[in-house]
Structure 1
Amino acid sequence: MLMKSMPFSAITARVWLFMSAIAVMLFAAPIAQAQVTDFRQAVAQAAASDDDIAAFYRERNYEGIWSTSGDRRRRNALMAAFASAGDHGLSSARYDPQPLMARLQSASTASEQGNVEVELTRMFLQYARDVQTGILVPSRVDSNIHRQVPYRSRLATARAFVQSNPDSFLRALPPSSPEYTRLMREKIAMERLLAAGGWGPTVPGGKLEAGSSGNSVVALRNRLIAMGFLERTNTQTYDAAIVAAVQRFQQAHGLAIDGTAGQGTLREINVAPETRLQSIIVAMERERWNNRPRGTRHIWVNLTDFTAKIVDNDVVTFETRSVIGANHRDRVSPEFSDVMEFMVINPSWYVPRSIITKEYLPQLQQNPNAVSQLQITDSRGRTVNRGAVDFTQYTEANFPFSMRQPPSRGNALGLVKFMFPNRYNIYLHDTPSKSLFGRETRAFSHGCIRLADPFDFAYALLARQVSNPEEFFQSRLRTGTEQRVNLNDPVPVHLVYRTAFTKPEGHMQYRRDVYGRDARIWNALSREGVAVRAVRG
């Protein structure tokens, strides 16, 4: 649903002048006249159903924090935060100041004032959690999002708030990361764009390329201008300027950069601005889930971007293409954060049981010599004679053997793997299947992350602990045997899923929703009252 809204400055001007007046006249005065004991009893009773709020007021002997003329600054700061909730991609309806104003006006008895007092605290704590660590519980939206959200203590939040400057405290609640700031700025710009009519008509027709002309080229030209990829021009021919603009668009959307508006490129060009805005709002929610330091040096694997990056002090110092898990129920790559502790040069591949029983057992039942590159071992690690085993007697449930591929250039893990031990058995690794890195969409693995440039990735990690990382790595590679190399300074690893993300300079970046996760997140946010807005500047 598209909601029309006034800009925040207009809301502020109209609400706060009126709010300040009625808050003092209609709310503060009665509480001064009411029996203090009655008010405190009402607060105690209203807070009793919430352990954190009850503990907070009990520590204060049930004294209010919103209820007197001296609390006006705190009230106004809270209402200002509520009025800007929609800017953060939260539900504007949930934090609408008008119903609160009505309750403030009608609270004439100590009991009513006590109830409003506690309700304001409850809403403050709800807002603090929503804007700081997100509206949703990630794992409830998608079971493959294993994000440990850094929830703050509600009681500690309330305590800190009353001891702080209320405006500064509330401003500090949202994530302070540059990415969140840039996403919010882009969100507001997109809302103004929607109010001004969006990007105009979509581009009809089929493939367009250099030399094409006609109405479809004009529509393409106009849309690229509206999107900011093309300077204003009157050309009606697919000329060099349009080729360059299409290339810029393709780069910003993770597409093959050929300057031709083929079926895939046109599909992305014709995506509605409302849909792009939904992606930004989802990205802001995801940023709140990860509202903690990422690490001065960290590894950032954006699944939808098919890249793995090393980031030092917020600057990307190394980047390589990646292949992620296939879009199949038991192959998708999960999202989580962990710490990379070591690499293994010349690794063995210990085949996951799910692959053994689902893929290789059926082949062995047809031909005992199938997948001959793999060793079959028993529970003691001894190699099993294939000819002595009747594989047809086994099922997925009772297959008693393990499988291992020794180190080699043909090993499924290639020549190096990067380990951040986790219960999902996910890691980064080399691969002998290099051709897949030339694909535009690279979702082919069983869940682990394959790297296009694993040796250079290793050199970048080792550069901080050895003087000649390339020679150090190659000398161990030449042994042909497994070599574990610990990282002196373990590196945080974040496997994330961002279909909308920013760059410090340049266009907003959008990627396809490979697994449909962001669509599920948006649907969940919608159920919580989050909506796309058009805001006039």
Structure 2
Amino acid sequence: MTNFNKTLLLLIFLLSFVSLQAQDLSIEGILGDKIRGEKSQGAVVVEGIELYSQNELPKFYMNREFELAWTSQKNKKDLIESIESSYDEGLNPEDYHLKKIRKLMLKSEKQNLSKAETADLDLLMTDALILYASHLLAGKLQQSELRKKWDVDRNVVPADPDSLLTTTLHNQKIKPVLEDFKPNHYMYGFMKLHLKKLREESTQGGWPKVSEGEVLKPGDTSVRVSEFRKYLIAVGDLSESRVENENVFDKDLEEGVKKFQSRHRLNSDGVIGKGTIEQMQVPIEERIDMLLLNLERTRWILHQPDEDFLLVNIAGFHVKRFTDRKEVFNSRVIVGKYHKETPIFKGVMEYIVMNPTWTLPYSIATHETLPRLKKDPGYLAAKHMEVMDRNGKILNPATIDWAQYSSGNFPFIIRQKAGPWNALGEVKFIFPNKYAVYLHDTPSRGLFNQQERAFSHGCIRTEDKWGLLMSLMDDPKVWNMDKINEILKSGETTTINLPKPINIYLVYLTAAVDEHNNLLFMKDIYKRDKAVFNALNEPFEFKKAD
């Protein structure tokens, strides 16, 4: 016998021995070897896939001495149905091992799985449940990694996930537990309904097309009017009814146009101009994408909202107050311009200041005010400003040689006095934060009539300032316009503590739903959407342990 034949026989013998050993191992032994052995090398892997839960999953199986977790057919069925329904959440079912789980489940219906296959199926299902639950709880993406100035902490995970997982499987409560992990706010549920509706409409050809052309106003007659009528009926802003002449821009069509404009944060003038047509020409597929990425944002920020909170939607240019899940206050706002973005974070509003002074931020004082002072020494007086040293001592601006200073050696503080000229207006609402951002009034009231209101350096200017103050103070017998006017007339800077501090969420949603189930779309003023959508569309990578 040649050396080659001897080697071949030895190899066959060794392989047979290893195979017999694997067959002799119990499923618990296979699970233990897979978790202990592969974990020691850096990752638990099933069929080449590095599993998501590299910490919780091994702990879970070690605590149960590597017994199978998925012995209940109901649990298996509920998990698969839940993963399939992740599509309706705006997520990708294939992120949760769906193909591999289905393949093994289908095989098990025709023949018994091997012990190794049974172990793999158990691990895949456990990992899928943990991963899907984490995505519902905190989102698929790490929002702060996609773009700076998104400074919202991730939602808190359950204190004892191992116990929760064990109890969930034991009580066969997979679906109810996953439901509890979804954002508990009407906006999330309504957005899902609209996503499903738009997807169905997309498969049926989408929305009717509208043509560009000259501006159309109520009373006009044009063949293009019928196009807009059909479009508005399709998107739900106009009821279908018989009309004498579908080419006449009648009162019903005007109301439909206004509703469409309101939903898209356009000036609701009932006139079909360039801006309105642009929004009507956005294809349904793009609107679906907007819903997908904003469902993800909703998972980041509205998982378990407070019973009473303020919400500023930067992209929507508004601030709202929600109390007991109802909208009780709504006002238009002005936000930071592009490149001077209003940051996204959560804070606690604590107090209000009436007749505020305004201390100019160093960047504004040196880059905007100082160049003007060099040209016009009387600029400070004209703007009701005063200059101080670092100790707060008021200085005479006429004694200062402004030409010798720059942004690198500016030792002064510039403050604008209280009054109707003040950049902060007559009131500001303070929630202490590292960005020095707050809500405030403005003397430039006409800017609230603009369609896109991104004009500030980052702070939020509020239109209905007194409505907000009276809402927060919640004592109309004391805090009414008589009281407000009394303080204003005094001219004194007055600090008012809120009777109860209130959480405020500064968020960025380009698609949302109001409490009346109206679907809203906003312009992506900070150009944030593309990065979120691209990342959301990528397969989830099973390598970062959690």
> Quick check: TM above 0.5?
yes
Measure, in 1, the Cα distance between the counterparts of 2:27 and 2:466. Answer: 75
Shift in CA distance, 409/39, structure 1 to aligned 2, threshold 3 Å = closer
Q: Equivalent residue for 1:484?
A: 495
Q: CA deviation at 1:117?
A: 2.6
Q: Which amino acid aligns with 1:354?
A: S
Overall identity of the aligned pairs, in %: 28
Query: Structure 2 residue aligned with 1:158, among 160, 165, 180?
Result: 165
3-state secondary structure, aligned to 1:478: helix
> Conserved in 2, the CA contact under 8 Å of 1:307 and 1:322?
yes
3-state secondary structure, aligned to 1:375: strand
Q: Equivalent residue for 1:336?
A: 345
Measure, in 2, the Cα distance between the counterparts of 1:477 and 1:80. Answer: 61
Q: Deviations over 1:481-503 (max 9, x none)?
A: 21111112101111122221112
Q: Equivalent residue for 2:464?
A: 453
3-state secondary structure, aligned to 2:72: helix
Q: CA deviation at 1:38?
A: 3.9
Residue 126 (structure 2) pairs with residue 121 (structure 1): yes
Measure, in 1, the Cα distance between the counterparts of 2:88 and 2:286. Answer: 17
Q: Deviations over 1:249-279 (max 9, x none)?
A: 1122221112110001111111111111112
Measure, in 1, the Cα distance between the counterparts of 2:437 and 2:163. Answer: 36
Q: CA deviation at 1:212?
A: 3.1
Question: Whose Rg is larger?
Answer: 2
Q: Which amino acid aligns with 1:226?
A: A
Residue 269 (structure 2) pairs with residue 258 (structure 1): yes
TM-score, normalised on structure 2?
A: 0.85
Measure, in 1, the Cα distance between the counterparts of 2:490 and 2:23. Answer: 82
Query: Structure 2 residue aligned with 1:421, among 432, 453, 463?
Result: 432
Q: Equivalent residue for 2:535?
A: 524
Residue 101 (structure 2) pairs with residue 92 (structure 1): no
Residue 363 (structure 2) pairs with residue 358 (structure 1): no
Q: Equivalent residue for 1:374?
A: 385
Shift in CA distance, 92/162, structure 1 to aligned 2, threshold 3 Å = closer
Q: CA deviation at 1:34?
A: 3.7
Query: Structure 1 residue aligned with 2:356, among 344, 347, 360?
Result: 347
How large is the RMSD of aligned CA atoms in angstroms?
Answer: 2.5
Q: Equivalent residue for 1:504?
A: 515
Residue 173 (structure 2) pairs with residue 168 (structure 1): no
Measure, in 1, the Cα distance between the counterparts of 2:535 and 2:527. Answer: 13
> Conserved in 2, the CA contact under 8 Å of 1:40 and 1:63?
no
Measure, in 2, the Cα distance between the counterparts of 1:172 and 1:293. Answer: 10
Q: Which amino acid aligns with 2:222?
A: G
Shift in CA distance, 452/160, structure 1 to aligned 2, threshold 3 Å = same
Query: Structure 1 residue aligned with 2:419, among 393, 403, 408?
Result: 408
Measure, in 2, the Cα distance between the counterparts of 1:419 and 1:399. Answer: 27
Measure, in 2, the Cα distance between the counterparts of 1:32 and 1:500. Answer: 57
Measure, in 2, the Cα distance between the counterparts of 1:82 and 1:91. Answer: 9
Shift in CA distance, 113/471, structure 1 to aligned 2, threshold 3 Å = same
3-state secondary structure, aligned to 1:515: coil
TM-score, normalised on structure 1?
A: 0.86
Residue 79 (structure 2) pairs with residue 78 (structure 1): yes
Measure, in 2, the Cα distance between the counterparts of 1:79 and 1:512. Answer: 37
Query: Structure 1 residue aligned with 2:409, among 395, 398, 415?
Result: 398
Q: Which amino acid aligns with 2:530?
A: A
Q: Equivalent residue for 2:51?
A: none
Shift in CA distance, 341/368, structure 1 to aligned 2, threshold 3 Å = same
> Conserved in 2, the CA contact under 8 Å of 1:326 and 1:444?
yes
Q: Equivalent residue for 1:383?
A: 394
> Conserved in 2, the CA contact under 8 Å of 1:209 and 1:259?
yes
Q: Equivalent residue for 1:139?
A: 144
Q: Which amino acid aligns with 2:423?
A: A
Q: CA deviation at 1:160?
A: 4.7
Measure, in 2, the Cα distance between the counterparts of 1:522 and 1:140. Answer: 14
How many aligned residue pairs are there? 496
Q: CA deviation at 1:157?
A: 4.9
| Runs of 4+ with deviation above 6 angstroms | 30-33
Q: CA deviation at 1:116?
A: 3.7
> Conserved in 2, the CA contact under 8 Å of 1:301 and 1:308?
yes
Q: Equivalent residue for 1:320?
A: 331
3-state secondary structure, aligned to 2:319: strand
Shift in CA distance, 399/31, structure 1 to aligned 2, threshold 3 Å = farther
> Conserved in 2, the CA contact under 8 Å of 1:132 and 1:291?
no
3-state secondary structure, aligned to 2:95: coil
Residue 207 (structure 2) pairs with residue 202 (structure 1): no
3-state secondary structure, aligned to 1:371: helix
